[in-house]
Amino acid sequence: MLVLAGCSATPTKPSQGAPGIVYDKPEATVQKAAVDALAANGFEILKSEPEYVEGSRPHKIGVVVGSGGESAGVWLSSLGSDKTSVKVNTAKSSFGIVGQKNWDKEIIAGMDNSLGGHQ
């Protein structure tokens, strides 16, 4: 039997110069949208802090380790009372990497649905 505990990768914060998106909403509103977008995409929320949200998708196991196992991080940075910068990064685990995918676009799309789009 294969034990999968500790097999998910930890997302890393994109570099300072990496492109991000900006919402014309306060940080608390954007943080809630990030939590909701992760959950809607099948992520279990691991951390929910004012400037960081992290979730992990459970592995789907059949004859071999399949999809799932990805972790995603959403970093928030207030740009004032009504603007928030967001950076998203999906990390893949070493097990089942063939069946895993990058969830960045789906997470941003989920946040757009809640917040009405980004810059």
Residue 12 located in a structural domain: no
**Gap between the terminal Cα atoms of the chain:** 47
Residue 108 located in a structural domain: yes
Would the pLDDT of 50 be above 80?
yes
CATH number at 108 reads 3.30.310.80
Residue 1 located in a structural domain: no
Neighbouring CB atoms inside 10 A of 83's CB total 16
pTM of structure = 0.82
Residues 76, 51: contact at Cβ < 8 Å?
Answer: yes
Residues 76, 84: contact at Cβ < 8 Å?
Answer: yes
Q: In total, how many domains does the chain have?
A: 1
Residue 2 located in a structural domain: no
Angle at 28 (CA atoms; ends 24, 30), nearest 5 degrees = 50
Residue 50 located in a structural domain: yes
Instruction: Give the tens place of pLDDT for each residue, 8-42.
Output: 578 888 877 777 899 999 999 999 999 999 999 99
Q: Which domain holds residue 77?
A: 21-115
